[in-house]
Amino acid sequence: MNPEATSSPSDLDGAVERAGSARHLLVALDFDGTLAPLVDDPMSARMLPAARDALDRLSSAPETTVALVSGRTLEHLAEISERSPDSRIHLAGSHGAEFWHPGGEQDADTDDDAELRDVLTDRAEAMIGGLDGAWIERKRFGFGLHTRLSDPQRAAEAIARIDELVAAHAPAWRRRTGQDILEFASRHEGKDSAIRRLRELVGADAVVFAGDDVTDEDALASLEPGDIGIRVGGGESVATYRVADAAALAVLLGRLAEARTRG
């Protein structure tokens, strides 16, 4: 791990210039905590205006592909990112198990565990119903336990209950932890596989990826020589570069947009 990822202006400027000169650049970004500040009500999250402006400019630049790669369901990611019908920004939801591409193309994968998902989600909701501040989010291939509004003792109790439930009935499901969230899914794709798929789809020879949470480390660790990985905020990371918060990343993306449209 790399807790000392650099945030020096000169190093970041150099990274921006390298990305700006790529033949075809893929800019793939987490959403929550990366483009939008973390909020207590997840569906109220919205991209910072400066980040939106930078992504609009990048997605219009020659030989540049922009994608949002999130643990959110595709439906929720489309809502919080305020996707328009003519958007040029690719969406990868459910940690890379769902995709939407410009032009309205959307994956039609079915969920073979849909019945089990619904049963376990119902049971999970009943199990934590009396724990203040904990709640269940229904997802396409599983569910998530949110504990942002819980005190540590209640959060630990909720996590223990849900872990026991899934271990008993769906031991093969993938378990993920993030900032105040525990997720389980029948699908095992990760943000690393999402990056690989997008890279191949558009023929990118360089990737910029930024994220703020544990689930983003899969993508950061999968980057190839010549790619640029950025950790947003604190915490250990394999990323080479670091920025303080979503606002700082928006500034960096603005500089990258300038580099891609220069001349």
Q: Please count the structural domains in the chain.
A: 2
Res. 258: pLDDT tops 80: yes
Identify the three-state secondary structure at position 73. Answer: coil
Residue at a domain's end among 150, 185, 220: 185
Do 99 and 24 share a domain, yes or no? Answer: yes
Domain membership flag for residue 3: no
Query: What element of type H or E holds 171?
Result: none
| Residue 60, token pair as written in the block | 């219009």
Does residue 255 form part of some domain? Answer: yes
Same domain, 195 and 67: yes
Asked if 86 and 119 sit in the same domain, the reply is no
Q: What secondary structure does DSSP assign to 198-249, as a single string?
A: HHHHHT-SEEEEEE-SGGGHHHHHHPPTT-EEEEESSS--S-SEEESSHHHH
Q: Is residue 1 part of a domain?
A: no
In 3D space, the residue among 88, 1, 76, 98 whose CA is nearest the CA of residue 32 turns out to be 76
Residue 216 within any structural domain of the chain:
yes
Mean pLDDT of the chain: 93
Q: Tell me the per-residue pLDDT of 30-54, one tens digit each, with 9 for 90 and over.
A: 999 999 999 989 999 999 999 999 9
Domain that holds residue 22: 9-109+189-261
Q: What is the pTM of this model?
A: 0.91
pLDDT digits (tens, 9 = 90+) for 53-67: 999 999 999 999 999
Residue 107 has pLDDT above 60, yes or no: yes
Considering the domain architecture, whether residues 103 and 66 belong to the same structural domain is answered as yes
Which of 134, 163, 185 is where one domain is finished? 185
Burial 80-113 (b: 16+ CB within 10 A, else e): bbebeeebbbbbbbbbbbbbbbbeeeeeeeebeb
pLDDT per residue over 146-188, tens digit each?
999 999 999 999 999 999 999 999 999 999 999 899 999 999 9
Q: Are residues 201 and 83 in the same domain?
A: yes
Tens-place pLDDT, residues 64-104: 999 999 999 999 999 999 999 999 999 999 999 999 999 87
